[in-house]
Structure 1
Amino acid sequence: MSPAAAAAVDVVAALQAAVRCPTTTGDAAASTALHEVLAQAFPRVFAQLERVAVPGRPRTLLLRWRGSGGAGGEAAPLVLLGHQDVVPAGVESAWTHPPFGGVLAGSAEGEAVWGRGTLDDKGPLVVVLAAVEGLLAEGFVPARDVWVSSGTDEETGGACAVAAVGVLRGRGVRPWAVLDEGGAVAHGALPGLRAPLAVVGVTEKGSTVLRLVARGRGGHASTPARGGPVARLARAVVALERAERRAVLGPVEVPAATRELLRRVLPRPVSGLVDRFPAVAGRLLVLAGPESAAMVRTTLAFTAMQGSAAVNAVPDEAWVGANARIMAGDSVDAVVQRVRRAVRGCGVDVEVVERGEPSPTSPFSTAEDDDEAFALLERCTERVFPDALVTPYVTMAATDARSFCGLGGRVYRFSPLRMSRAQRASIHGVDEHVAVADLADGVRWTTALLRDLP
Structure 2
Amino acid sequence: MKFKKFLFILLALLVVFIGFTLTNTFLTASKQPPIVPSSVELDENAAIEKFSKALTYKTISYQEREKFDLQEFDKFISFLMDSYPTVHENLELETINDYALVYKWEGTNPNTKPIGLTSHYDVVPVLSGTEGNWEKDPFSGAVQDGLIWGRGTLDDKIGVIGILEAAEYLLKEGFTPSRDIYFMFGFDEEIGGELGAKAIADSLKQRGIQFDFVLDEGGAIVENMVPGVDQPVGVVGISEKGSATAELTIKGSGGHSSQPKDRTNIGRIASAIAALEETQFEGKLRGPGNDLFEFVAPEMSFGMKYVFSNKIIFKSIIEQILLKEPATAALIRTTIAPTIFHAGEQYNALPEEATAIINLRLMPGDSLEDVKEFIVKTIDDDGITVTVTGSESSSVSSTDGPQFKAIQQAARNVYNDAIIAPYLMFAGSDAKHYDIISDNTYRFLPVQITSEDLNRMHGTNEHISSENYINAIKFYVEIMKVTNQ
- Residue 169 of structure 2 aligns with which residue? 134
Deviation of residue 134 (structure 1)? Answer: 2.1
Describe the SS at the equivalent of 1:200.
Answer: strand
Quick one: which amino acid aligns to residue 476 of structure 2? T
Q: Which residue of 2 aligns with 1:390?
A: 420
Counterpart in the other structure of 1:197: 233
Offset of 1:44 from its aligned partner?
Answer: 3.2
Quick one: which of 152, 162, 174 aligns to 2:198?
Answer: 162
Q: Deviations over 1:97-123 (max 9, x none)?
A: 3563344356xxx62223333212222
Is the Cα contact below 8 Å between 1:15 and 1:126 reproduced in 2?
no
Question: 17, 29, 43: which one pairs with 2:85?
Answer: 43
- Report the counterpart of residue 260 of structure 1 in structure 2: 294
* CA shift in 2, pair 1:79/1:311, >3 Å: farther
The residue aligned with 2:386 is 350
With over 3 angstroms needed to count, the CA separation of the structure-2 counterparts of 1:295 and 1:265, relative to structure 1, is farther
In the alignment, which residue of structure 1 is the partner of 2:217?
181
Determine what percentage of the aligned residue pairs are the same residue: 29
What count of residue pairs does the alignment treat as equivalent? 434
Q: 2:94 aligns with which of 40, 44, 52?
A: 52
Q: Deviations over 1:201-260 (max 9, x none)?
A: 11221122222233345678898777554443333222221122xxxx234333242342
Q: Would you say the 8 A contact 2:138–2:461 is kept in 1? A: no
How far, CA to CA, are the matches of 2:348 and 2:137 in structure 1? 37
- Where in structure 2 are the equivalents of 1:244-323 lying within 5 Å? 244=280, 249-255=281-287, 256-266=290-300, 267=302, 268-287=305-324, 289-307=325-343, 316-323=352-359
Distance 1:99 1:301 in 2: 33
Letter in 2 for 1:211: E
Q: Find the aligned partners of 1:232 and 1:425 in 2 and give their Cα distance.
A: 35
Counterpart of 1:368 in structure 2 is none
Q: Is the 8 A contact 1:165 1:404 kept in 2?
A: yes
* Superposition map of 1:53-452 within 5 A: 53-54=95-96, 57-69=97-109, 73-90=110-127, 91-93=129-131, 95-97=133-135, 100-104=138-142, 111-159=146-194, 160-217=196-253, 227-244=263-280, 249-255=281-287, 256-266=290-300, 267=302, 268-287=305-324, 289-307=325-343, 316-345=352-381, 347-354=383-390, 356-365=391-400, 371-452=401-482
User: Which of these two proteins has the greater Rg computed from alpha carbons?
Assistant: 2
Conserved 8 A contact 1:15-1:123: no
| Deviates most, 272-281 or 411-420 | 272-281
Q: CA deviation at 1:131?
A: 1.1
Q: Aligned pair in 2 of structure 1 residues 339, 221: CA closer, same or farther (>3 Å)?
A: same
Contact 1:23/1:86 (8 A) holds in 2:
yes
Equivalent-residue separation in structure 2 for 1:121 and 1:309 (angstroms): 42
Residue 82 of structure 1: SS of its match in structure 2? strand
Deviations 1:324-368 (A, max 9, x none): 1111232221122112222222843222232x1122221114xxx
Kept in 2, the 8 Å contact 1:201–1:394? The answer is: yes
TM-score (norm 2): 0.81
Structure 2 distance, partners of 1:126, 1:68, is 25
TM-score where L is the length of structure 1 = 0.86
Q: Which moved more, 1:191-200 or 1:88-97?
A: 88-97
With over 3 angstroms needed to count, the CA separation of the structure-2 counterparts of 1:299 and 1:422, relative to structure 1, is same
SS in 2 for 1:414: strand
Instruction: Report the secondary structure of 2:446's partner residue.
Output: coil
- CA distance in structure 1 between the aligned counterparts of 2:151 and 2:45, rounded to whole angstroms: 25
**Unaligned stretches of 5+ in structure 2?**
1-38
Distance 1:318 1:94 in 2: 38
Contact 2:216 2:444 in 1 (8 A): yes
CA contact (8 A) 1:98 1:115 kept: yes
Residues 54 and 157 of structure 2 are in contact (CA less than 8 Å); yes or no, is this contact kept in structure 1? no
- Long gaps (5+) in structure 1: 366-370
Q: Distance between the aligned counterparts of 1:263 and 1:2, measured in 2?
A: 31
Once the 2 structures are TM-superposed, how far is the Cα of residue 386 of structure 1 from its aligned partner?
0.8
Q: How far apart in 2 are the matches of 1:152 and 1:234?
A: 40
Q: Quote the Cα distance in structure 1 between the aligned partners of 2:175 and 2:202.
A: 29
| Cα gap change, 1:2 to 1:390, in 2 (>3 Å) | closer
CA distance in 1 between counterparts of 2:340 and 2:434 reads: 29
* 1:306 to 1:168, Cα distance in 2 relative to 1, 3 A: same
**Pairwise CA distance, 1:158:** 2.6
Tell whether the 8 Å contact from 1:202 to 1:257 is kept in structure 2 after alignment. Answer: no
Structure 1 residue 453 displacement after superposition: 1.9
* Matches of 1:315 and 1:2, distance apart in 2: 66
- Give 3-state SS (helix, strand or coil) of 1:358's partner: coil
Instruction: Give distance in 2, aligned partners of 1:222 and 1:130.
Output: 69
Shift of 1:175: 0.6
- Asked if the contact 2:87/2:167 (under 8 Å) is kept, the reply is yes
* Change in 2 beyond 3 A, CA 1:328/1:38: same
2:117 is matched by which residue type in structure 1? Answer: L
CA distance 1:283–1:138, change in 2 (3 Å): same
CA–CA separation in structure 2 for the residues paired with 1:243 and 1:435: 43
Q: What is the root-mean-square deviation of aligned Cα atoms in Å? A: 2.9
Decide which moves more: 440-449 or 233-242.
Answer: 233-242
Distance 1:341 1:142 in 2: 55
SS at match of 1:292: helix
